[in-house]
């Protein structure tokens, strides 16, 4: 067949020309013509989930006697091929389409029906009567969103975050005893160790994993079986439970039918919740990325505490310049995830009565956020944190001249005298201990004990509010 050959397909609205090579039918073709908005098709993760939902639906229909074995097995075979990505070229519908995702559901129904008709030995398989049996777009698409997101979280994001926390832990074990100047408001503050600084990053990410896990019970709840509005019209009473059980076995996830299919179809609160957790993880990754950028800044005019791995030339005009490209890329990805969360939040409240009508964009942005965060976590760990080197001389020099060490003297000599020492040390560019020797009657031994930076990272003498 040549690209210009067509065949005639029919649906309830009449005849339509469809490319001869295409597996889709008339309803998909109408969507292609009606929604030429972005050129963005639904993502692979969504098509995988949609194929799995169609496979499970056919299996449930088989178990309940709603479809004959020849057609049922043929549909399951074709649906698994869709899930595996063997027919992605035949899913051309734009993300920005009908808000229920009906066009994408029918795209799947038509592709699977055409394939299944071949696998059934020519027995006609109808997109609606057979592939879509016991289903509606209104419960299929929310189910595919939950399944796709749950798989992405379990298979991609949580493992990537765990790998990153382990990378941070290994780096902390390697350089964690290094004492450095702490910073608050970007200004010199009390010292801490690199292990403590990296440990804070690790705790942020561990909390992010815990937040994701807390969403699982609701994310693993499926709308399938509710059909059009939640009543389950045209579906056997056990359809949702049977399909969820099949999906659980196929995916390894603990999936359950929704306790209230009306809510699962009318609203997308769980998607909004998960998007919020993803936004929080994005904020954590951006914070870590920016810390790395600051610590790496220089090599002469910045902080220069660490040197990130040199990955590529940093300038087209300044020879020898090397930039912190990985943290920058991660920060941009995090910004995209934060923007996606705004979209998902707006989309989540964009339902009227019994149906949310921004399902495709919820699916797209949610799955993109999961993939971006997983890739960012891998890259940040492998290409930045694992390989950075500590500039011990620079760290020690800054620490020795840190005027905030005087905080440890406040309980002994008073806040005002300590402030005077700090101001003089800063003005004269001298170490606090040297100036304190001149301005107090404390012995050198006591000053050494009070101003020992390593001791101060373990608590030392505490004073003030922590500002």
Q: Residues 44, 49, 52, 54: is their CA dihedral positive or negative?
A: negative
Residue 352 annotated among the catalytic residues of the structure: no
**Interatomic CA distance for residues 392 and 414, integer angstroms:** 33
**Does the annotation count 443 as an active-site position?**
no
C-alpha distances (whole Å) from 265 to each of 104, 147, 150, 216, 366 are: 16, 15, 17, 18, 17
Classify residue 236 as left (phi > 0), alpha (psi -120 to 50) or beta.
beta
Helix (H, G, I), strand (E, B) or coil at 429: coil
Which residues contact residue 411 at a Cβ distance below 8 angstroms, ignoring those fewer than 6 apart?
Answer: 461, 463
The per-type count for the chain, helices as H runs and strands as E runs, is 18, 10
Catalytic one of 315, 397, 443, 444: 315
The whole-angstrom separation of Cα 77 and Cα 118 is: 11
* Rounded Cα gap, residues 389 and 381, in angstroms: 14
Instruction: Assess contact for 344 and 272: CB atoms under 8 A.
Output: yes
Helix, strand or coil, per DSSP, at residue 467: coil
The distance from CA 10 to its chain's CA centroid, rounded to whole angstroms, is: 41
Residue among 143, 111, 106, 144 at smallest CA distance from 128: 106
Cβ atoms of 341 and 276 within 8 Å: the answer is: yes
Q: How far is CA 48 from CA 42, 250, 262, 453, in A?
A: 10, 12, 25, 55
Exposure of 238 in the CB half-sphere (CA atoms within 13 A): 11
Query: Is 59 within 8 Å of 89 (Cβ atoms)?
Result: no
CA angle 333, 338, 342 (to 5 degrees): 140
Catalytic hit among 87, 134, 137, 185: 185
> What is the Cα–Cα distance from 40 to 66, expressed in whole angstroms?
36
Residue 42 DSSP one-character state:
P
Could you tell me the CA-to-CA distances from 368 to 18, 341, 361 in Å, in that order?
30, 11, 10
Provide the annotated active-site residues.
Answer: 185, 315
């Amino acid at each position: 067949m040549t690209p210009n050959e067509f065949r005639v397909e029919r649906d309830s609205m009449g005849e339509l020309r469809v490319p001869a090579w295409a597996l889709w039918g008339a309803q998909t073709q109408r969507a292609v013509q009606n929604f030429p908005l972005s050129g963005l098709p639904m993502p692979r993760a969504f098509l995988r989930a949609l194929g799995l939902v169609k496979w499970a639906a056919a299996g449930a229909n088989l178990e309940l006697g709603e479809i004959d074995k020849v057609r049922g097995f043929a549909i399951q075979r074709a649906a698994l091929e869709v899930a595996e990505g063997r027919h992605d070229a035949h899913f051309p519908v734009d993300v920005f389409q009908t808000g229920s995702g009906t066009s994408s559901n029918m795209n799947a129904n038509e592709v699977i029906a055409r394939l299944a008709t071949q696998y059934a030995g020519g027995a006609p398989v109808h997109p609606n009567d057979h592939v879509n049996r016991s289903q509606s777009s209104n419960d299929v698409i929310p189910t595919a969103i939950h399944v796709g997101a749950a798989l992405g979280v379990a298979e991609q994001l949580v493992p990537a975050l765990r790998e990153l926390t382990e990378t941070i832990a290994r780096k902390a074990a390697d350089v964690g005893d290094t004492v450095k100047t702490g910073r608050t408001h970007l200004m010199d503050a009390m010292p801490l160790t690199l292990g403590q600084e990296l440990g804070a990053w690790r705790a942020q990410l561990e909390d992010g994993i815990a937040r994701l896990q807390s969403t699982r019970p609701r994310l693993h709840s499926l709308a399938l079986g509710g059909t059009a509005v939640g009543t389950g019209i045209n579906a056997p009473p056990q359809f949702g439970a049977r399909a969820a059980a099949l999906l659980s076995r196929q995916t390894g996830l603990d999936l359950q039918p929704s306790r209230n299919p009306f809510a699962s179809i009318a609203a997308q609160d769980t998607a909004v919740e998960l998007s919020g957790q993803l936004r929080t993880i994005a904020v954590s990754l951006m914070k870590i990325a920016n810390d790395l950028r600051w610590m790496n800044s220089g090599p002469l005019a910045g902080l220069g505490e660490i040197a990130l791995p040199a990955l590529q030339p940093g300038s087209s005009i300044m020879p020898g310049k090397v930039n912190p490209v990985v943290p920058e890329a991660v920060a941009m990805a995090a910004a995209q995830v934060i923007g996606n969360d705004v979209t998902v939040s707006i989309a989540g409240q964009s339902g009227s009565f019994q149906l949310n009508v921004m399902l495709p964009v919820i699916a797209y942005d949610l799955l993109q956020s999961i993939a971006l965060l997983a890739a960012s976590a891998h890259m940040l760990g492998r290409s930045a944190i694992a390989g950075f080197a500590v500039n011990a001389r620079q760290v020690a020099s800054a620490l020795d001249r840190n005027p905030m060490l005087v905080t440890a003297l406040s309980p002994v000599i008073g806040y005002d005298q300590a402030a005077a020492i700090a101001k003089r040390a800063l003005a004269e560019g001298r170490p606090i201990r040297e100036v304190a020797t001149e301005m107090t009657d404390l012995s050198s031994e006591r000053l050494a004990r009070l101003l020992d930076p390593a001791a101060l990272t373990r608590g030392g003498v505490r004073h003030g509010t922590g500002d």
